[in-house]
Amino acid sequence: DSGVTQTPKHLITATGQRVTLRCSPRSGDLSVYWYQQSLDQGLQFLIQYYNGEERAKGNILERFSAQQFPDLHSELNLSSLELGDSALYFCASSGSGSYQETQYFGPGTRLLVL
């Protein structure tokens, strides 16, 4: 158990819908990362938050947004869903977001868009 929790574990929804994925980082970690894993794109970095503020953006679509709350949990919002958004979404956390720190991953949320 990495100490990072993600809910829900599975999500099935329809095209055009909106979903919210939730992540709680390990105790004491201030930095949260979101990654998407799909068969065609592999593992891709989406966005990073540090202590409530956005720190870095990767290949995140405009239909996607995220935030980190004062209690450090984070949410990833996916809207106007398309079939191609079906993927495994991971949250990871680390202490300060330094490049030398290990990122510990949550169990992931498996999203299926029908």
Partner 1 sequence: AQKITQTQPGMFVQEKEAVTLDCTYDTSDPSYGLFWYKQPSSGEMIFLIYQGSYDQQNATEGRYSLNFQKARKSANLVISASQLGDSAMYFCAMSRSNYGGSQGNLIFGKGTKLSVKP
Q: Does 36 interact with partner 1 (rule: CB under 8 A)?
A: no
Spatial strand order in the sheet of 5-7: 5-7, 19-24, 74-78, 64-68
Q: Does 31 interact with partner 1 (rule: CB under 8 A)?
A: yes
- From the list 21, 6, 5, the residue with the least C-alpha distance to 85 is 21
Residue 104 identity (one-letter amino acid)? Y
Q: Does 105 interact with partner 1 (rule: CB under 8 A)?
A: yes
- From the list 6, 31, 13, 2, the residue with the least C-alpha distance to 90 is 6
Tell me the C-alpha distance between 113 and 10, whole Å.
Answer: 11
Q: Which residues pair with 11 in a beta bridge?
A: 111
Provide the token pair at 89.
Answer: 């979404």
The least distance separating partner 1 from the CB of residue 63, rounded to whole angstroms, comes to 20
Q: Does 25 interact with partner 1 (rule: CB under 8 A)?
A: no
The least distance separating partner 1 from the CB of residue 51, rounded to whole angstroms, comes to 13
Q: Which of residues 45-64 bind partner 1 (CB under 8 A)?
A: 45, 48, 55-56, 58
Q: Which of residues 75-104 bind partner 1 (CB under 8 A)?
A: 88, 90, 92, 94, 97-104
The least distance separating partner 1 from the CB of residue 16, rounded to whole angstroms, comes to 26
The least distance separating partner 1 from the CB of residue 80, rounded to whole angstroms, comes to 25
